[in-house]
Amino acid sequence: MQIDLMEPLKIDSIVLLDGSHITGIRDDGNAHMVPVPKWNPGTTNAMTVYYHGAPIVAVKPPWDGGFIWAKDSLGRPWMTVACQGMGASVWYPCKDYQGDEPDNGASLTSIVPDTLLAIANGHLIAKTRYPGHLTGYTWQVKNPINNYDIIPYIGKYTFFDSSYEGEKGKLPVSFWALDYDIDKMRAHCEPDVFKMLKAFEYWFGPYPFYEDGYKLVQAPIWAWSIKATLPMATIF
């Protein structure tokens, strides 16, 4: 099978569910051809890919892809990834094809300094403390999702929860902003989100991801701006 991972990131090893290591991997640029054992149809198998390196840095996101290392207005770290055009293999190994999606969703764990908060798609299913003042946040999506849509947002975030009474019942809605911008988000974004959801459900039918909720996140990508002082990205 083919696993994609863009240089300068490097695969160290690939380990199967039974603990055995795959050998004979053939590299072809950013594509890595991995020999796998014969698996019976209908069975579920897993492999773990270990890799290392510094991912490409986005110069003008989201028009070019890569990791985004930014600062908020108080000089604190603020990070995310832009990879819809370039592909998710710019920062993690995957089957990097936009026309395919994992049938049973995905999860993402980000381990960050405990002064920051890591957000991603779907619902938070675990929060784990680690030595060295680190915290891991695991978010999970149950619906199929594009590789490039699985994105972390890391910064000095705070949030408030809400809900929308939609065509399939109560849709969980949450709003995430940097701590000093949360009042702006509450005043300007919450009413507009409900208007948008109402309009889209009227014209296109029920929001397709009720199980995963709807999330609006302030993001350090000015090309996605809703307001000049409050750039946003929508994730579910």
Mean pLDDT of the chain: 89
State mean pLDDT over 61-89.
90
- Burial (CB < 10 A; 0-12, 13-18, 19+), residue 44, is exposed
Asked if residue 198 has pLDDT above 90, the reply is yes
Examine residue 93 and say whether the peptide bond preceding it is cis (omega within 30 degrees of 0). no
How far, in Å, CA of 139 to CA of 106, rounded? Answer: 9
State mean pLDDT over 216-232.
56
Fold that domain 1-54 belongs to in CATH: Immunoglobulin-like (2.60.40)
Asked if residue 71 has pLDDT above 50, the reply is yes
Tokens representing 6 are 């863009």
pLDDT at residue 76 in the model:
94
Asked if residue 234 has pLDDT above 80, the reply is no
Asked if residue 223 has pLDDT above 70, the reply is no
Residue extents of the structural domains in the chain: 1-54, 101-235
pLDDT at residue 222 in the model:
58
**pTM reported for the whole predicted model:** 0.89
